[in-house]
Amino acid sequence: MNLPYQPNLPIHLLAACFNKTSATYKFYWFLSIISKVEAGVTTINKRDLFIEMIAHSWFTVNYFHISFGKQDKLQVAIDRIKTIEHIPVDAKRQQIINALLASGNKETFKHLQYFNSEVPHRFLSPWFNAADMLQAYQYSQALTNNCPYALHKDHIEINPNWIAYFQQNTRLLKDFCYWNLAMYLQAKNPNVPDIPNKLIKLPTRKDLNEQRKKYWNIVIQELGSVDCIYTNKALHIGDYAVEHFIPYAFVSHDLIWNLIPADRSFNCSKSDKLPIMQIHFEPFFQLQRNAVEVITAKFPNNRFLEEYLPLFPDFSPQYFNRDKFFEQIQPLVTIASNNGFEFML
Residues 199, 19, 194, CA angle at the centre, nearest 5°? 25
**Angstrom distance (rounded) from CA 183 to CA 196:** 9
Residue 44: in which H helix or E strand, if any? strand 43-45
Buried-exposed string 101-121: b where 16+ CB fall within 10 A, e elsewhere: eebeeeebeebbebbbeebbb
Which DSSP state fits 158?
E
**Angstrom distance (rounded) from CA 111 to CA 109:** 5
**Angstrom distance (rounded) from CA 34 to CA 79:** 25
Evaluated on CA atoms 156, 161, 166, 167, the torsion sign reads positive
Q: Does residue 294 contact residue 246 with C-beta atoms inside 8 Å?
A: no
Q: How far, CA to CA in Å, does 233 sit from each of 35, 110, 230, 317, 343?
A: 50, 50, 8, 26, 21
| 41: Cα separation from own chain's centroid | 27
Per the DSSP assignment, residues forming a β-bridge with 45 are 155
Q: Does residue 12 contact residue 61 with C-beta atoms inside 8 Å?
A: no
Residues 99, 61, 2, CA angle at the centre, nearest 5°? 105
Residues 57, 58, 63, CA angle at the centre, nearest 5°? 115
3-state SS, residue 180: helix
Domain boundaries, the chain: 11-198, 209-338
Compute mean pLDDT per 10 residues along the chain, 345 residues long, and list them: 90 93 94 97 98 96 91 94 93 94 96 96 95 95 98 98 97 95 93 89 78 97 96 95 94 94 92 94 96 94 92 78 92 91 90
pTM greater than 0.75: yes
| 208: Cα separation from own chain's centroid | 21
Query: 7-11, long-range: CB within 8 Å, 24+ apart, which pairs?
Result: 8/146, 8/161, 9/146, 9/161, 9/162, 9/165, 10/127, 10/145, 10/146
Q: Note the pLDDT of residue 222.
A: 96
Q: How far, CA to CA in Å, does 308 sit from each of 208, 215, 257, 258?
A: 17, 13, 6, 9
- Identity of the residue numbered 282: E
